A and B are shown apart, each in its own frame.
Chain A
């Protein structure tokens, strides 16, 4: 390599990294604000260009203590319960949506039956309306079922909205799996069901993981329906709790920021754990190419 092109590639590297640095700052600047807010004293910090605390005396974990109710057994029990609510509702939503959507998507991808097209269209139609539009009827239905203020009621509502999207996503995944794989399994001695369970399902695992994660996150972040359908504080999910720090006359930004960080942690952990599944194309190499 000549000295000239070496210098050229060094310049290129510098430019690329400068660009990346700008992108990182752009992405992390708001996060930095949230972290700083969460760590600063009750009155908050002065607005600064670079939002970092000046000196250790500006840093405190008070906001986290406030949110989690540290030192107050009753409040911390409540927070734990609300955290569990969020976790249970989100996991149950993801599990229910995937459990219902996976076989449905497989059937829609592989079989011809009466009502297939209109069913797909019907499901698409439900996606056109935001969940809020049906908040009132949902409230009445849950009331009639005595499921208001319960986790199962909320799971029912969330799963109902998550299933159509999950079906579409998983149908695409099953369509992308070559039929040859299942046919090979059936020639090898598998029944239709075994071919689905032992071949199609493992091949669709990355897509199922993504779908489950989306369902989890939509439930984890959902606020309006939760706020509408949940009345008791002990039934709240975390977004509803978080909103309670934004008052009509004053807002506890520090507590809000601390809560926001706590709410983000489980999702970050999930993404970290699932990243291999999310990135790997498991079908690669099974068939030609």
Chain B
């Protein structure tokens, strides 16, 4: 089915080489080829407030790309620029090798799922799905065929004659996706499509979106502030902060090797613990010390820059910490304030030093029963899981 849908519109192919294209800030705007969607040197300000400050974006054919970042980072603006709902102050955008920078939305061949779903309230589900096709002069037979196909895919067959107000939130969401699917666009754009659903439905639809993407082989650009959506959906994750791309790559790679303190704390829940400290060299080994932590550092990973006495921020994810038992080397002692037991696991909140910040450590469900508030527990962490950031620049040591 995915072949049937996309064979006609498939013009670019992913040769796998394009993801490494970097901007050479001097010659704007030149856009890399063989990309389903590419943006180069995008700048956009609203009044005096800069929103995007020079962003490059490349999405190869068939890729699920996710833009993630805190509110105000410019992710939705970037999506709207790709859709043509805003025009960039500077830079160029191509879709399937076609420069669309100055084209209106209708000439860009994109389909968008809005956060509010934006279903036409006066039209039935069927007419909502048919709206874009009718405007483009698609034949009635073709419209019927595509609606049938999309509604079978999304389970909308029984809802086709209803009005949007007669649908539940989840159903509306599916109609919004159906409206995009029947269009068979160059690229699917999603603007926080799950944020109006309750938690259970959100998880369900999240999987559904990924399943649809895999089935259609469609190129997708998806905006979210939810790191779970970002991590689970993305082939290619773009972390935005302050109008710039802070880091891009496969989600797990970014999670495991965050390049800045911002990325480290933004991805992962609970947040990575951060403590001010310094590097200490003892007998050929490197230790990170400070804020109540003393841990060996995996010097295989940090071959350079590990000077004795260097000021650093030490980062350890709660999930990388454990209750140090027996001979296991401990890196810190946690004075427990609260234990949050989630059933399968637990989180101990507390302090390593009397003046230090709150630290969170993951515990096994079994340990959660024995650890009580007020007790002091030894924590361990593998040297490979210790992250180090330069204290001055907040960039990760490489």
Contacts and interface: CB of A to CB of B under 8 A. Distances in A.
A and B from one complex: yes
Interface of A: 178, 180-181, 183-191, 194, 198-199, 202-203, 205, 282-289
Contacts of B119: 285-287
A188 B183 contact: yes
Contact of A189 (B85, B132, B165): B132
Contacts of B83: 183, 187
Contacts of A284: 121, 165
B130 to A, nearest CB: 10
Chain B interface size band reads: 20 to 34
Contacts of A188: 106, 111, 131-132, 135, 179, 183
A187 B164 contact: no
Contact of B116 (A178, A187, A198, A203): A178
Contacts of B120: 181, 184-185, 198-199, 202-203, 286
A189 B122 contact: no
B167 interface: yes
Interface string B134-151: 011000000000000000
B117 interface: yes
Nearest to A184: B118
B114 A183 contact: yes
Contacts of A181: 118, 120-121
Interface in B166-186: 166-167, 169, 172, 179, 183
A180 B172 CA distance: 14
A287 B183 contact: no
B121 A183 contact: no
Given A187-B110, A286-B121, A289-B196, 9 more contacts: A178-B118, A180-B118, A183-B105, A183-B114, A184-B179, A185-B120, A188-B135, A191-B106, A287-B119
Given A190-B135, A285-B166, A184 B106 contact: no
Nearest to A202: B122
Given A180-B114, A183-B118, A187-B111, A286 B85 contact: no
B155 interface: no
B163 interface: yes
Nearest to B163: A285
A189, A198, A286 interface centre (most CB from chain B within 10 Å):
A189
B112 interface: yes
B295 to A, nearest CB: 47
B104 interface: yes
